[in-house]
Structure 1
Amino acid sequence: MWRRRDVVSARDFDRRDLEDLFETAKYMEKYAKSRVEFLKGRVMAVAFFEPSTRTRLSFETAMKRLGGEVVGFWGAEGTSVEKGETLADTVRMLDAYSDLIVIRHRYEGAAKLAAEVAENPVVNGGDGASNHPTQAMLDLYTIWREFGYIDGLNIGVVGDLRHARTVNSLLEALTNFNVKVFLISPEYLRPRTETVDYIRSRGLRHSFHTSLEEVLRELDVLYVVRIQKERFLDPLEYERVRGSYRISLDMLKNAKRHLAILHPLPRVDEIDHKVDSTPHAKYFKQAALGVPLRMALIYLILMGP
């Protein structure tokens, strides 16, 4: 059941939930470039305390395509937060003005707090380095649309696996499927202990690697994340791992013909721009699918069973 559910963590959703979401998103694809009146009169509030392009714009576009309205802010500048208003009070204000709140915040636990305070549903648009559940839903939906299934695939995840909240949520969501995951990173940037403990407890098959080349030929999906400079407290630590992995045309000669490369974006230099023109590049399709996926999510929360 989706109606009036908060979306705080990927751990809160099982395989049936995700498959229902995927089927609804596929239906919504026909409306992703038009407008319907499914949510006429409904209002979504967006509270983005951190910069965002794809997440914010895809949520706003999704709500408008569904016939609803959007209010909110993008950055604390010009809001009462600058005057010292607490997050809880800001959420209460938005709750009074809207039917649904989408929040992004630099602090872990902000979305959970918002969900505890608000009477209306809250969707986590990314908090700290811990959760980004709707991105994980989008990532899995892209794989599902590309292959027609998820079970049985070999999925590589490469880059900064410690600080990328997209990786945490993706790994948690993948525990609902029969896949094998190859975790590729410098040892220093392996996923957080709590994430590894969770996927291990759920029986997700996984292995750790420092070399992408040694496992590339086995992969059906390669999920790339950037080295996140803004998450490093020490600039020297960032420089030490910067550029550890870079996907090039030459490297892809050893890949499966159907290898799908995904990336939550933005990218810096971890994927050569020449890769964009290859059949492997699915990251722009992935970004585009964010609109129907979030249309489905909003619709199910506000109107679903």
Structure 2
Amino acid sequence: MRHVSTVRQFDLQETTRLIERAEYLRTAKRAEIQKNLAGMLVATLFYEPSTRTRLSFEAAVYRLGGQVISAENAQENSSSKKGETLADVFRIVGAYVDAIVIRHHSSTELEQAMPYAPVPVINAGAGSGEHPTQALLDVYTIWRELGRIDNLSVAVLGDLKYGRTVHSLLRMFAMMSNISLKLYYPEGLGLPGDLLSEMAQAGVRVEHAASVEEALAGADVVYQTRIQAERLEALEEVCAASDYAIQAKHLSVLPAHARILHPLPRVGEIDPAIDPDARAAYFRQAENGLYLRMALLEQVLKGELS
């Protein structure tokens, strides 16, 4: 039994294996895979709002022949509102199911509670900490779009301080070779110091751009994110999305082979006029999450994670 809590537990070999399995599941006939999780029950506990992550996990379970019980808005609609600890939630829910997929508002509380779960727990986003399955599907998307996951120039824009998807993805990049980052973010929302140190120790080159145009120029991958308004510690941290948004006019500096990713939802950071452009990969990225999470659920529930 193995929890999925951080991208640090995945190496390149395992990531590659998940990508290959996701590719198989993408084209496999439904009848061939419907028994893969037959008889298994997964609980999805979401203490924060979610569309793509929750629905793709639940769809993944059903496509593999399993069943789902779900608690949406669990912060308000479960005994957590009465003060029940997450450790006790895991003890109880873990007695009913074969695995738990959870999104929680506190990365610390989630990490401390995981040892009390009698079944595997998958982190589906924890506060401003990590979102490991998003990073895995992001890497899968880069591989599908560009045919490689190394030797990349990556522009990362938006809220880098609270953006858990950024934190996980950059830790994945730290495992790869010849990665360079160009960061552009609103004042006060840059990468946490410990993550910058991790990048330096891993040999990832980091530059800071002064504009959207400078960030996009020469990039292989653009990773845009929204302001995490729900996590801002002070009102003065709020800034206009237009300050770092990608507009159609910016595409002139973006190489033809480049791809634009976004974990979604977007709230003004990417002009919808860009959507038809072949470089806009964010909706394909969201679809990829289904197949990557199918592959991960198979491994978790079959006990095959190394």
Aligned residue for 1:118?
A: 117
Which structure 1 residue ranges, 4+ long, deviate > 4 Å from structure 2? 31-35
Aligned residue for 2:189? Answer: 189
Is the contact between residue 38 and residue 66 of structure 1 (CA under 8 Å) also seen in structure 2? yes
- Any idea what SS the aligned residue of 1:63 has? helix
Give yes or no for contact 1:114–1:122 (8 Å, CA) kept in 2: no
The CA deviation at 1:81 is 1.7
Partner of 2:104: 105
Alignment partner, residue 6 of structure 2: 9
Alignment length, in residue pairs?
301
Taking structure 1 as the reference length, what is the TM-score of the superposition? 0.94
Q: Does the alignment pair 1:21 with 2:45?
A: no
Q: How does 1:212-223 map to 2 (within 5 A)?
A: 212-223=212-223
Q: CA deviation at 1:261?
A: 0.3
Paired-residue identity, %: 44
Opposite residue 57 of structure 2, the aligned amino acid is: F
- 1:111–1:123 contact (8 Å) kept in structure 2: no
Q: Secondary structure at the match of 1:98?
A: coil
Q: What is the deviation of 1:210?
A: 3.0
Q: Is the 8 A contact 1:187 1:210 kept in 2?
A: no
Task: Give the AA of the match of 1:16.
Answer: Q
**Alpha-carbon separation, structure 2, partners of 1:79 and 1:187:** 38
Q: Partners of 1:113 and 1:32 in 2: how far apart? A: 40
Shift of 1:187: 4.2
Q: Match for residue 234 of structure 1?
A: 234
Counterpart secondary structure, 2:195: helix
Paired position in structure 2 for 1:253:
252
Q: Is the 8 A contact 1:46 1:72 kept in 2?
A: yes
Q: Per-residue deviation at 1:31?
A: 4.3
**Does the 8 A contact of 1:32 with 1:62 survive in 2?**
no
**Match in the other structure for 2:58:** 60
Q: CA deviation at 1:30?
A: 1.7
Unaligned segments of structure 1, at least 5 residues: none
Q: Which moved more, 1:32-41 or 1:114-123?
A: 32-41
Paired residue for 1:136?
135
Q: Which amino acid aligns with 1:297?
A: L
- Deviation of 1:208 (Å): 2.0
Query: What code does the residue aligned with 1:246 have?
Result: A
- State the match for 1:47 in structure 2: 45
Residues 136 and 170 in structure 1, CA contact (< 8 A), matched pair in contact too = yes
Are 1:205 and 2:202 an aligned pair?
Answer: no
| CA RMSD across the alignment | 1.6
**CA contact under 8 A between 1:222 and 1:259: conserved in structure 2?**
yes
Distance 1:78 1:188, change over 3 A: closer
Secondary structure of the 1:82 match is helix
2:180 aligned residue: 180
Distance 1:196 1:280 in 2: 28
**In 1, Cα distance between equivalents of 2:160 and 2:276:** 26
Shift of 1:231: 1.3
Q: Deviations over 1:196-218 (max 9, x none)?
A: 11222222222222322124221
Which letter maps to 1:67?
G
Tell me the distance in 1 between the aligned counterparts of 2:83 and 2:217: 53
CA deviations over 1:64-123 (Å, ceiling 9, x no partner): 100001113011333222222111111111111111111111112233223211121111
Q: Is the 8 A contact 2:2 2:303 kept in 1?
A: no
Give me the whole-angstrom Cα distance separating, in 1, the residues matched to 2:46 and 2:230: 17
Mean alpha-carbon deviation: is it higher for 17-26 or for 198-207? Answer: 198-207
